[in-house]
C-alpha cells in the first residue's frame, strides 16, 4: 500500500469509509471489513458522527479499532461533525458550544483519546467561521484533535476559512472532503485550484459514482439486485442518465483496451492527481476491500489522462 502525506500524517492511498457501519452492516460484518483493511495496509479510516443512524458507525469502529492497543498510533482516524444528531435538528452545526459537545461524544464512541482529522461536515450559515475555527483550534491545543479539515465547502468558503485562521493564528483546515470522480468533476473549476494555492489535500468521496463506475451496470437494464443503485433510488436518479451512459461506455472501452477494469480506472485516475491524499472507498465485504486496494496500481501516462479528459468531456 502506497502512503501519502496529509499535513504531516501518513495516510494510505486508499482509505476505508465507514458510511455503511452501524446501518447496512452489523458489528461482525464491520469487524471483518476493518480487519481486512488493516491486513492490506490501509491506515486511513474515515467516518462521521451521523453515519450509522447517528453514532453507529463511530461506535462500531471504536469497538474494532479500540482493540488494537498500541497499534492505534499507526492509524489515521478521521471523523466529521455538523449534521443533525437528533430528530429535532437542534444537535447540529458548527457553533462553539456544539463542537465541544460533539467532539466529546465522538471520542467516547470511538474509544480513543484523540481524533487525527476532525472535519466540518458541511457549512453552517448560522455560525461565523471564526467561532468555528477558534473552537477547533482549542481542541488542537488540548491534544484531542491533531488536524482539522472541511467537507462540502465551496472555494470562497475555503478561502474565507484560510484567511481567518491565518489572520488570528489559528489552526487551519488541511483537507477538503468532496465528491470527485470521473463523472463528477465540477470541483476542478474553482475548489481544486484554491486547494493547490493554499496547500490543502483532497479526500474524494463517491470515487465510483455510487457504483456506476464499477462496470456492473448496462444501459436499458435494471441495476443488478443488491447493488447500491438498486437499493438507493436517489443515487440512481443522480447518476443514471444519457450523458453518464455515454461517458461510462467510452471509459469502459478505454480501460479494457489497456487491460484494466473500470474500478482500476476510477481509483488510479483519482490518485494520478497530486492534490489527492487518499481515496475514500466504502466496502461491505472483505472482498470489496481487496478489490479497492488492488485498483490503485495503474500508473497512467499523460496520453492516458488526455484521452480520459476527452471521453469525460462528452
* Bridge partners, 281 (sequence order): 16
Residue 175 CA to residue 131 CA, distance in Å, equals 19
Those residues with Cβ within 8 angstroms of residue 28's Cβ, 6 or more apart along the chain or in another chain: none
Residue 73 CA to residue 187 CA, distance in Å, equals 33
* Cell (9 digits) for 189: 473549476
Residue pointed to by grid coordinates 485550484: 193
Residue pointed to by grid coordinates 471489513: 33
Q: Are 217 and 229 in contact (CB under 8 A)?
A: yes
Residue 18 CA to residue 37 CA, distance in Å, equals 12
Residue 148 CA to residue 164 CA, distance in Å, equals 14
Residue 200 CA to residue 220 CA, distance in Å, equals 41
Closest CA to 53 of 18, 29, 78: 18
Residue 57 CA to residue 77 CA, distance in Å, equals 13
Q: How far apart are the first and last CA of the chain?
A: 34
Residue 115 CA to residue 38 CA, distance in Å, equals 18
User: Can 51 be counted among the known catalytic residues?
Assistant: yes
Q: Which residues are catalytic?
A: 51
Amino acid at each position: 500500500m502506497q502512503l501519502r502525506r496529509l499535513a504531516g500524517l501518513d495516510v494510505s492511498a486508499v482509505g476505508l469509509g465507514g458510511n455503511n457501519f452501524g446501518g447496512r452492516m452489523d458489528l461482525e460484518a464491520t469487524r471483518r471489513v476493518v480487519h481486512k483493511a488493516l491486513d492490506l495496509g490501509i491506515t486511513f479510516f474515515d467516518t462521521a458522527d451521523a453515519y450509522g443512524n447517528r453514532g453507529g458507525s463511530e461506535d462500531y469502529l471504536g469497538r474494532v479499532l479500540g482493540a488494537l492497543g498500541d497499534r492505534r498510533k499507526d492509524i489515521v482516524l478521521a471523523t466529521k461533525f455538523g449534521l443533525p444528531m437528533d430528530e429535532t435538528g437542534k444537535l447540529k452545526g458548527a457553533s462553539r458550544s456544539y463542537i465541544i459537545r460533539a467532539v466529546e461524544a465522538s471520542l467516547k464512541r470511538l474509544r480513543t483519546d484523540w481524533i487525527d482529522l476532525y472535519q466540518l461536515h458541511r457549512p453552517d450559515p448560522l455560525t461565523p467561521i471564526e467561532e468555528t475555527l477558534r473552537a477547533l483550534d482549542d481542541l488542537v491545543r488540548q491534544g484531542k484533535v491533531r488536524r482539522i479539515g472541511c467537507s462540502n465547502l465551496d472555494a470562497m468558503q475555503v478561502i474565507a476559512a484560510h484567511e481567518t485562521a491565518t489572520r488570528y493564528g489559528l489552526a487551519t483546515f488541511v483537507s477538503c472532503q468532496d465528491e470527485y470522480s470521473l463523472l463528477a468533476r465540477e470541483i476542478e473549476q474553482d475548489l481544486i485550484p484554491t486547494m493547490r494555492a493554499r496547500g490543502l489535500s483532497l479526500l474524494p468521496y463517491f470515487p465510483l459514482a455510487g457504483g456506476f463506475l464499477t462496470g456492473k451496470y448496462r444501459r436499458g437494464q435494471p441495476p443488478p439486485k443488491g447493488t447500491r443503485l438498486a437499493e438507493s433510488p436517489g443515487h440512481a436518479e443522480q447518476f443514471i442518465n444519457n450523458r453518464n451512459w455515454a461517458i461510462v461506455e467510452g471509459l469502459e472501452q478505454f480501460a479494457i483496451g489497456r487491460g484494466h477494469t473500470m474500478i482500476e480506472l476510477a481509483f488510479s485516475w483519482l490518485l494520478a492527481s497530486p492534490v489527492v491524499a487518499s481515496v475514500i472507498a466504502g466496502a461491505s465485504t472483505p472482498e470489496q476491500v481487496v478489490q479497492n486496494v488492488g485498483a490503485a496500481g495503474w500508473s497512467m501516462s499523460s496520453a492516458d489522462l488526455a484521452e480520459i479528459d476527452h471521453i469525460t468531456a462528452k
